[in-house]
Structure 1
Amino acid sequence: MIHKIQFNICGLLFLAFINLFAQKKPNIILIMADDMGYSDIGCYGGEIQTPNLDALAKNGVRFSQFYNNARCCPTRASILTGLYPHQAGVGGMVGNGHGDLSEKAVTIAEVLKSNDYATYMTGKWHVADSSTKDDMHNWPNQRGFDNFFGTIRGAGSYFEPHTLTYNNKTVKLSVEDDFYYTDAISDSTVTCLNRHFKEKKDKPFFFYVAYTAPHWPLHALQKDIDKYKGVFNKGWDVLREERLVRMKNLGVVAKHTQLSKRNPNAKPWDIIENKAWELQRMMTYAAQIDNMDQGIGRILEKLKTENALDNTLILFLSDNGGCDELLKGVKKWVNAKEVTETLDGKTVSTGNIPGVMSGPASTYMSYGGSWANLSNTPYRKYKKSGHQGGVATPFIVHWPNGFKLKDKIKTEVASIIDVMPTILEAAKGTYPKTYNGNKIKPMEGVSLLPVFNNKSLDRDEWFVEHGTNKAYRKGVWKIAFSRDDKHAKKWELYNLQEDPTERFNLASQYPEKLQEMTKIWVKWAKRVGVIKK
C-alpha cells in the first residue's frame, strides 16, 4: 500500500514537472539592423567583425533567400503585423498623411501581451504618421509595448537623435551624457532585461530591438573606426570579388553564382582620387555595424547569466539592402538641429563633402552607391528596389530549445510576413479576429517552424511594392520593375536558379511567362490594396 502511495505521488510529481516544462513558453527577441546589405556581416561573407551574430548563425540557421520590403517603414509595418504594408496602413513613407499603422492590424506586442507576455522595445519605431505628442495613438506604448526607449522618426544623429523617447516622455540630452545611440539601444535593452528578470522572472518576454545602425548619417565611435584601418584598402571592386568567394564557401550563395556588374552609379576604384576620404566612409559604416554586434553580445551575455539563452528565440535581419542615397537636400528631410549644430555647439558639415572625414557628430553624410554596391554583393541595385540588392536580407534564427539544427543554411523562399506567424506559433499565441473593437485582417505569412525541423515550406512565392518599386517571385522565376530609364519603365524577368544575380533579362525571350507573372502580381496588388479597386 505504501509503495502504491509512493508511486502515485511520484507519478503526480512527474506529471506536474512535465506540465511545468510544457508550459514554459520561450522568450523572444527580434533584432533588426537598418540599411544593412546582404553580405556585410561575417557569417554572410563580409569583412566586418560580427562575432556575436556569427555565433548565433553557427548555433542556429541562416536563410539564403529571405526577403524584406526594400525600405524602412514598409518592412517594419509588415514585420510587426504579419501583413503586407498596404494592409497594415504603411503603403507609402510614414508621415504627412502618407502612412500610419492601421488599427485593423494587430502588432506582435499586442497579440503576445494578450497571451501573458511582457513586451519591450528599444530603437527605431517609424510606423506612425505623427512624431509629436499631439497624436501618440500609434506610438509603441499605445501599440502593445509595456516599455519603450528609442526614436519615433526614421533617421537622425547618433549623438543627439530627434524624437528620442522613454515611453511617452521626451528624453533631453546633455554633453555630459556622452550619448551614442547604438550603445544606448544595447544598454537600455540589457537594463530592461535586468529589471524583467528581477521583477517578472516567471513571465516570458517579447523584445523588439530595432537598431538604426548602419543607416546614415555615418556616425561612429573612434575606437570602432580605428579597427578598420587597412581593411578596405583594396577598394570595392576587388572586395566584391573576394566576398563572393567567401559567400560560395559559406554556402549562402550557389557555387555557380556570378558577380553582377558594377552598378551604374558606382565608379571603378582605380579612378577614385579621394581614396582616404572614401575609405573613411566605409570604415565608419563598418564601425556602426561592429558596435551593434558588440551590443548584441552584451544582450546575449545577459541571457546567459540568467540561464535564459537556450529558451530564447532570437531572430535577426535587416530592413532593406545597402543604401546609395547621396543626401542631396537632406535638410528638408530631417530635424534642422541635427544638421546645423552639435550638442556641444559645433557647426555640422552636412552632405558628402570630399575631404571632410565621417564619424563625429559634426559630420552628416552617407557612404554612397559604390560602397553600397559592396554591401549588396553579389546582387544588383539598392534600397528601394525590388531587385535582389534592395530586398535580399540576411536572416538568422537561434533557439536551442526549439530546434536542434546548427550552422545550417535554408534555401526556402521566405519573407518578413512570416515573422509574426513564426513567433506566434513558438509562443503558442492566439491571433485575434478582433482587437480593441476593430476587425483584424488575417495574417498573410506562414510559420517557419517546420523549416527549422527540416521540413519543406508549403509556399515558394513572394510579393513586394513600394512606390514604383515592385517585384514578384514564384519558384525560380522573378519579375522586377526597372526604373533605370524614366522614359521606358518596364517589368523584367529573371530565372534566379540559373541567374541568381539578375544579369540577364529574359522578358523578350519568355513573354508568356512575363505576362503570366505580371497578371498574378496585379491580382495580388488589388487584393492587398496596392491598386485601388
Structure 2
Amino acid sequence: MAKRRSFKSLALALVAATSLSAAWAAPALAQSAATTQAPQAQGRPNFLVIVADDLGWSDLGAFGGEIRTPNLDALALKGVRFTGFHTAPTCSPTRSELLSGVDNHEAGLGSMAELLDASQRGHDGYEGFLNNRVASIAELLQAGGYHTLMAGKWHLGLTEQTSPAARGFDQSYALLQGLSNHFGADQTEAWGKAGERSTWREGLKEVHYPQGKYVDDQFADQLIGFLDQSAKAGDTKPFFAYLTFTGPHWPMQAPPEDIARYKGRYDAGYDVLKAQRLARQKELGLVPQDAVAHAHELAKPWDSLTPEEKALESRKMEIYAAMVDRLDQNVGRVITELKRSGRYDNTTIIFLADNGPEGNLITGPKGGNFNQLLKIDNSLSNLGKANSYVGYGPGWAEANAVPSRLVKSYPTEGGIRTTAFASGAGVQGGRINTANLSVTDIAPTLLQLAGLTQPASFNGHPILPHEGHGWSQLLAGKTDTVRSPEEALGYELFYRRGLRKGDWKIVYLPAAGADAAVYLKSGVGDNQWRLYNLARDPGETTDLSASEPAKLKELLADWDSYAKAKQVIALKKPAQP
C-alpha cells in the first residue's frame, strides 16, 4: 500500500491558485465540446447545502417526529423527501464524501483523524484530512464561476493548508474540529490546557469564538452576512453556500427558552417515543405499513429505570429536541434572507444529516477528573447550560433512528440511513423517493445542475473521478432512480463493514472486547456476516444468511472487490465474541 506524499508537497498543492487546468470541460449539455470557458452566471441555480450533525432519521416533523421544525418541514414537503439516502457511519468520513464525490477511503478519511490506528497511519486514504487526490465541489464550482460560501463545522483538517479557505471557499467561518461547546465556553485557558479547546477560522485567519453566543445562531449569522454582502455588492455570480450546523451533536446544550418548550414532553420514555414515531412514519408513507422496528440493543428498557434515572433521561431528550428546534429556527432565518434578496426562487436546497444519531454515553469531555478541572456540572437542574456536558444516550438515539437498527458509527441502517431532502429550483416537489442514494451523489449533482463537468486534473495533478451519480433527472421527476440494482455500495469504518446491492445488504460487526481497537471496546458485534433484504425488512431484524447462501456469497465477493479497490485496511486481530 502506498505511503502518503509529504505534508509539504500536499500543502503546496492545496494552497495553489484554484484555476482549472486545461482539462476543464465545458457544460456537458448546453455547449459544444470545443468550448472551454465556464458558462455565464445567467440562469444557473444557486446552491444551499445544509448539514445537521447527528440528527435522527425521524426527528423532523416531515419524517415522523414531534419536534417543532416548521421551516425544514415546509422545505421538505415542497420538495422531494429521500427515504433511501445513505452516508458514512460518522461525520468527517461523510463530509469527505459529500465534498469530493468519492469514497472516504480515497478522500483521506478512511478513519476519523482522532481515531486512526497505528496500522492505518501513513497510508493513502487515511491522512485524516481531505487529501489532494480529490478536488472539492467548492473548488470546482469556484473555478466554474460560482461564489463559494461556508459557515459551520469543517472537520476535514486543522491547519491553514487544509482549511475551507484552502479548499475552494471564497468566504468561510468554520469550526475546525468535530465538536465544540455550543456556547463557546471551551475557549478558556483551562479548556486549552486540557486539550479540548475548539479552533475557529474566518478565511485563513484563526479567530476567537464569541463566548456566550449559541453556536448555530452564529453560523446562521455568518452565512446571512456573507449573502447580504454579496447582494449589496451587486454580485451577479451564482453562489454555493455550505451551512453545516453542529446541532444536535453532543454536548446537549441549548438556549433555556427552547428547552422550556419541551418540559415534560418525553416523560413517557424512549420506548413510547419509538412506537409513536414509527406509527407516524407509516401515516406519512415513509415506511411500509408492515415495517417492524429493530429492538433496542444498546439501551435498558425504560421501565427498568429508577425515577431519578427517568428524570435525567427525559431532561436530556428535552434539551436534544430544543437543539433541533433551534437549528430549524436558524434555517428559517437563512431562507428569509434568500427571499428578502430575491434569490430564493433560483436556489436548489439540499438538506441532510451527516450520520445516524449518537448512541454513546457521554458524561464529560474526557472522563476521569476532567469534569472537576473544567467545572462541569451535570446535575439535573443544570443540564443544558454551557457548563454541562452530556450526550442523550442510546435509548433516545435508537428511538430516533426508528425503524432502523443501531446508531452512529455502525454500517447498519441506523448509522448510515439519514434524513435528506431536496427542495427549490429544479425540484419537482411533493414527492417521496425511495431510491438507494449516496452522499457521494451530491458533488456530481451540483456540478450537473451548474452545467459543468468534472475535469481529469486540478491544480496541475490528476484527481479521482466522481463515484456518485447526478440527480438532475431524479429531482426533475423524470426518473425515480439513479443507480442499477447491480451496483454495489460498500461501507467501512472502525473495522465495521457493510455492503448494499439492490435490496440486499450484508453487515459485519466485530465483537467488542478488551483486546479490540479503541472504538470497539464496547458495542454490538459477533464477528459474523449477516444478510438482510431491506425491501422486506428495513429494520434489519431477520438474518437471511443461512437461508440465502448464494446471495450471501455473491455480496461477500462484492465486498472483497470493494475493499481491494479502496485499499481498506482490515482489523488484523478481531476481538473474541
Q: Normalising by the residue count of structure 2, what TM-score does the alignment of the two structures yield?
A: 0.82
1:22-74 Cα offsets, whole Å, 9 max, x none, are 93111001100111111111110011111011000111000001101010110
1:492 is paired with a residue of what secondary structure? strand
Corresponding residue for residue 410 of structure 2 = 385
Q: Give the direction of change, closer, same or farther, for the CA distance of 1:482–1:121 in structure 2 (3 Å limit).
A: same
Task: Determine if the alignment matches structure 1 residue 68 to structure 2 residue 102.
Answer: no
What's the CA shift string for 1:163-183, capped at 9, x where partnerless? 0221122222455xx411011
1:110 is matched with which residue: 136, 139, 146?
139
Asked if 1:480 is matched to 2:507, the reply is yes
> Cα deviations across residues 296-346 of structure 1 (Å, max 9, x unaligned)?
00000111111211110100001110111113673279xx8x9844xxxxx
Q: How far apart, CA to CA, are the structure 2 residues paired with 1:114 and 1:173?
A: 30
3-state SS of 1:478 partner: strand
Gaps of 5+ in 1: 1-19, 342-346
Query: Alpha carbons of 1:435 and 1:226: their partners in 2 closer, same or farther (altered >3 Å)?
Result: same
Aligned mate of 1:495, from 525, 533, 555: 533
Preserved CA contact (<8 Å) 2:293 2:539: yes
Change (3 A) 1:24 1:407: same
CA drift of 1:118 comes to: 0.5
Q: What is the rounded CA distance, in whole Å, between the counterparts of 2:199 and 2:423 in structure 1?
A: 32
Quote how far apart the aligned CAs of 1:361 are.
Answer: 0.7
Q: Does 1:223 align with 2:257?
A: yes
Question: How far apart, CA to CA, are the structure 2 residues paired with 1:464 and 1:50?
Answer: 31
Task: Pick closer, same or farther for the CA change 1:164–1:269 going to 2, 3 Å.
Answer: farther
- Is the Cα contact below 8 Å between 2:44 and 2:450 reproduced in 1? yes
- 1:181 pairs with 2:215: yes
Number of the residue aligned with 2:13: none
Residue 406 (structure 1) aligned to one of 429, 432, 437: 429
Q: Could you say what secondary structure the match of 2:385 adopts? A: coil
Deviations 1:121-174 (A, max 9, x none): 01110011xx2xxx4211100000011112101112011151022112222245
Q: Does 1:466 align with 2:485?
A: no
Letter paired with 2:100: T
% identical equivalent positions: 36
Aligned: 1:145 with 2:169: yes
Give yes or no for contact 1:186–1:296 (8 Å, CA) kept in 2: yes
* Matched residues, number: 493
Kindly indicate whether residue 242 of structure 2 is the aligned counterpart of residue 208 of structure 1. Answer: yes
Deviation at 1:261, TM superposition (A): 1.1
Rounded Cα–Cα distance in structure 1 between residues aligned with 2:96 and 2:528: 27
Alignment match of 2:178 (pick from 154, 158, 169): 154
**Alpha-carbon distance, 1:507 to partner:** 1.1
Q: Secondary structure at the match of 2:402?
A: coil
Change (3 A) 1:196 1:314: same
Among 343, 348, 367, the alignment partner of 2:376 is: 348
Instruction: Tell me which moved more, 222-231 or 22-31.
Output: 22-31
2:401 equivalent among 351, 376, 381: 376
Give the stretch that moved more between structures: 383-392 or 200-209: 200-209
Asked whether the equivalents of residues 364 and 390 of structure 2 are also in contact (C-alpha less than 8 Å), the reply is: no
Residues 123 and 212 in structure 1, CA contact (< 8 A), matched pair in contact too: yes
| Structure 1 residue 193, shift from structure 2 partner | 0.8
Residue of structure 1 aligned with 2:329, choices 274, 290, 294: 294
Q: Distance in 1 between matches of 2:315 and 2:92?
A: 29
Q: Is the 8 A contact 1:331 1:339 kept in 2?
A: no
CA–CA separation in structure 2 for the residues paired with 1:250 and 1:269: 29
**Does the CA-based 8 Å contact 2:98-2:439 persist in structure 1?**
yes
Tell me if structure 2 keeps the 8 A contact 1:476–1:496.
yes
Root-mean-square deviation (CA, aligned residues, Å) is 2.1
* Residue aligned with 1:465, SS: strand
Q: Aligned residue for 2:352?
A: 317
Matches of residues 391-470 of structure 1 in structure 2 within 5 Å?
391-399=416-424, 401-403=425-427, 405-452=428-475, 453-455=477-479, 456-460=481-485, 461-470=488-497
Distance 2:512 2:134 in 1: 37
TM-score normalized with structure 1 length: 0.88
2:311 and 2:129 mapped to 1: Cα distance? 42
Is residue 2:339 matched to residue 1:304? yes
Unaligned runs of 5+ in 2: 1-38, 187-197, 514-524, 571-577
> Are the counterparts in 1 of residues 436 and 483 from structure 2 also a CA contact under 8 Å?
no
The answer as to 2:84 corresponding to 1:84 is no
CA distance in 1, matches of 2:218, 2:91: 20
- SS of 1:313's partner is strand
